[in-house]
Chains A and B, each alone.
Chain A
Amino acid sequence: MNKLEILGLSKQYGDELALDEVSLAVAEGEFVTVLGRSGSGKTTLLRSIAGFIKPTAGNIRVAGRSVLDVPVNKRGIGVVFQNYALFPHLTVRQNVAYGLRLRRIPKHEIRERVEAQLDRVQLAKYADRTPAQLSGGQQQRVAVARALILEPEVMLFDEPFSNLDVRLRESLRNELGQMHDRLGFTALFVTHDQREALSLADRVAVMDQGRLVQFATPQTIYNQPASSAVATMLGRTNLFTGRVAGSNIIEVEGQRLTIETSAPLGAEVSVMVRPHRLRLVSAEGAARGPAGEFHAAGTVRSIEYHGATEAVLVDTDGRELLLERPAEESTERTLDYGTRVDVRIPHSAFQVLESHPKQ
């Protein structure tokens, strides 16, 4: 059953279209992440679902019923805010009990349910502390517990990790993932961090300029991005434009490459290659390489050491290609600013960016 359905949701602010006919559905127990840059509309989407923003068009259905006219406090949606928004004047226990106390549930039942919930998230020891006395991870657990105890249909997460340093983000991410595996809630998680989006999600919704541009599993998103916008959001990549010159033949910068595509003859397409698929050959050995490889000659512009890998920027005739190679290679073949090199890319590394309707 779909716990959350967004149907053609739009939000207009004067001249600006913050959401442009966004439609997606989240199944029960599914963890969907919404990935996008700032201004992509992902926050507007989340806040519309929660009820803080009133959309100008479209519908939102939670567990089958429309919530458009339902006020925030009656939508049955749990929200985990960016800074967790734990009530500073209440203890952990009181924070978690807050929603229950609003519903006039008998006190002893509240106590039982709160204790059970605190156990579930391993916070029983800290029940009497105030939020200021908790670590980031503990605060997150309180925020989740507080919302989950009300058994909402859907849990919304508003970039809860964006203010944290890298290591904390990773550990909290793992914790959240494990919590979800254990407790099985339905979630919509908004973020601008592609690592988070890919690692936590059952499915990823990519948003750009108010539109939903791709909604698929993380693997599909990464390997078959629907557009250059999606591709660049997932990591640095190399983009080319080419023209279809035959059946599965695309001409890119004067070279004919065999790339699988369903685009019609003569159509212009965007083509992408991930940096780790590029090869470098020194300029001296630059006899025509094996067929089946794209090649371009250029000079090394910059080298970035990343520990396990090295990122090399090569300037080929005014256009830059980014190459990523294991750091060991650099000892075998040292590069310098200005070294002349030949870049080789096997045809199989190329990927046409086109939307795949069947996800």
Chain B
Amino acid sequence: MTAPRRPAGPTPDRGSARAAAWLPLLPAFLLYGVQFVLPLLIVAVMAFMTSDGTGVVRPTPTLDNFAKVLGDSYYLSLVGRSLLVALVTAITTAIIGYPIAWALARSRGVWRSLLLVAVMLPLMTSSVIRAFGWMVLFAPGTWFTTLFGGLATETTGLLYTFPGLIIAMTHMLLPMMILSLYGVIEKLEPSYEEAAATLGSGRVGRFLRIVLPLTTGGLVAGMLLVFASAASLFVTPRLIGGPKQRVLATEIYDQTIMLLNWPLASAMAVVLLVLAGLAGGVYSVMMRRVGSTR
């Protein structure tokens, strides 16, 4: 027959007992309801309101905001840049992340501890500090900036440039990709690679023919995750991208806090949600299916 079924707890029969079993979820529902669902609804509704540009919101429903975000070339360029940055970051983190993830999964001892520190430390450091570090490195005239030659500008070095932004974003999200890849590589039977080695395959060959094909699940999941996060990051685009490389997230902040154009900000937030949410949604569905085939 099938594999042994996981034992279920005794299900209470009485209606009230069954209801009581859900009681522990009450704090969760309360918190999420008030601080998550409700705010999302507010944003969704606000996106359709009209603003007269002076911080006053008139509850006349309109699609102007969306028209602006998706039609006006300035805003559209923001959407485009957000998408592009997210996509490129997903790719760069995948390429750089794989070797580390593999090394992390297969190493022991000193190497492993070193790798763990290298991956965990950035995760636990505030994004401000990480961005700050890149600001120092990207300053004009440093040895680092000179490495990049023509890509850097005279006045601001690598700051406010697209390559600079990508480097910083990659750094920001690399741990996330590594963790996702690590998860699948670790589950991979080392005997596959060992078998390939006995059949004459070198390290690169083993990677390309064995590890890569068998871990595409983790790769896709990681890329979706990085894509969703990259599209929504604020600090890095703000500090590193600056005024030349604006994205949706930074614009939302400006519209909300400085320009007080809440409907427009909300519309942008909704668009951002769609972009990031789609990726995140696909990821969740994937994870659920993967999780059930344990």
Contact flag (A, B; Cβ within 8 A): yes
Give chain A's interface residues, CB within 8 Å of chain B: 38-39, 43, 47, 51-52, 54, 71-72
> Which one, B1, B10, B13, contacts A52 given CB within 8 A?
B10
Q: Which residues of B contact A71 (CB under 8 A)?
A: 10
Determine the residue in chain A with the shortest Cβ distance to B3. A38
Determine the residue in chain A with the shortest Cβ distance to B2. A39
Instruction: Flag whether B15 is at the interface (Cβ < 8 A).
Output: no
CB–CB A72/B4 < 8 A: no
| Complex CA distance for A52 and B8, rounded to whole angstroms | 7
B 1-25 contacts with A by CB, 8 A: 1, 4, 7-11, 13
Q: Which residues of A contact B10 (CB under 8 A)?
A: 51-52, 54, 71-72
Determine the residue in chain B with the shortest Cβ distance to A71. B10
Determine the residue in chain B with the shortest Cβ distance to A38. B1
Q: Which residues of B contact A72 (CB under 8 A)?
A: 10
Q: Which residues of B contact A43 (CB under 8 A)?
A: 4
Determine the residue in chain B with the shortest Cβ distance to A47. B7
B291 to chain A, nearest CB (A): 23
Q: Which residues of B contact A51 (CB under 8 A)?
A: 10
Q: Which residues of B contact A38 (CB under 8 A)?
A: 1, 4
Determine the residue in chain B with the shortest Cβ distance to A39. B1
Determine the residue in chain B with the shortest Cβ distance to A16. B1
Q: Find the residue from B4, B10, B11 having the highest chain A CB count within 10 A.
A: B10
Determine the residue in chain B with the shortest Cβ distance to A69. B13
B5 to chain A, nearest CB (A): 9
Q: Which residues of A contact B1 (CB under 8 A)?
A: 38-39
A191 to chain B, nearest CB (A): 14
Number of A-B residue pairs at CB separation under 8 A:
15
Q: Which residues of A contact B7 (CB under 8 A)?
A: 47, 52
Determine the residue in chain B with the shortest Cβ distance to A73. B10
Q: Which residues of B contact A54 (CB under 8 A)?
A: 10-11, 13
Q: Which residues of A contact B4 (CB under 8 A)?
A: 38, 43
A211 to chain B, nearest CB (A): 15
| Complex CA distance for A296 and B10, rounded to whole angstroms | 57
Determine the residue in chain B with the shortest Cβ distance to A82. B4
B87 to chain A, nearest CB (A): 46
Q: Which residues of A contact B11 (CB under 8 A)?
A: 54
B12 to chain A, nearest CB (A): 9
Q: Find the residue from B7, B11, B13 having the highest chain A CB count within 10 A.
A: B7
| Complex CA distance for A71 and B8, rounded to whole angstroms | 14
Closest 7 CB pairs of A and B: A39-B1, A38-B1, A52-B7, A72-B10, A52-B10, A51-B10, A71-B10
Q: Which residues of A contact B13 (CB under 8 A)?
A: 54
A48 to chain B, nearest CB (A): 11
Given A39-B1, A51-B10, A54-B11, 9 extra CB contacts under 8 A: A38-B1, A43-B4, A47-B7, A52-B7, A52-B8, A52-B10, A54-B10, A71-B10, A72-B10
Determine the residue in chain A with the shortest Cβ distance to B1. A39
Per-residue CB proximity of B133-159 to A under 8 Å, as 1/0?
000000000000000000000000000
Determine the residue in chain A with the shortest Cβ distance to B7. A52
Q: Which residues of B contact A39 (CB under 8 A)?
A: 1
B10 to chain A, nearest CB (A): 6
| Complex CA distance for A54 and B10, rounded to whole angstroms | 8
Determine the residue in chain B with the shortest Cβ distance to A43. B4
| Complex CA distance for A38 and B7, rounded to whole angstroms | 15
| Complex CA distance for A38 and B4, rounded to whole angstroms | 9
A157 to chain B, nearest CB (A): 16
Q: Which residues of B contact A47 (CB under 8 A)?
A: 7
Determine the residue in chain A with the shortest Cβ distance to B9. A52
| Complex CA distance for A72 and B9, rounded to whole angstroms | 10
B62 to chain A, nearest CB (A): 53
B282 to chain A, nearest CB (A): 32
| Complex CA distance for A54 and B8, rounded to whole angstroms | 11
| Complex CA distance for A318 and B9, rounded to whole angstroms | 51
15 A-B contact pairs sorted by A residue (CB < 8 Å): A38-B1, A38-B4, A39-B1, A43-B4, A47-B7, A51-B10, A52-B7, A52-B8, A52-B9, A52-B10, A54-B10, A54-B11, A54-B13, A71-B10, A72-B10
| Complex CA distance for A71 and B14, rounded to whole angstroms | 13
A10 to chain B, nearest CB (A): 18
| Complex CA distance for A291 and B9, rounded to whole angstroms | 63
Determine the residue in chain A with the shortest Cβ distance to B13. A54
Q: Which residues of A contact B8 (CB under 8 A)?
A: 52
| Complex CA distance for A195 and B13, rounded to whole angstroms | 40
| Complex CA distance for A38 and B10, rounded to whole angstroms | 22
| Complex CA distance for A54 and B12, rounded to whole angstroms | 10
A256 to chain B, nearest CB (A): 41
A320 to chain B, nearest CB (A): 27
Per-residue CB proximity of B102-137 to A under 8 Å, as 1/0?
000000000000000000000000000000000000
A77 to chain B, nearest CB (A): 13
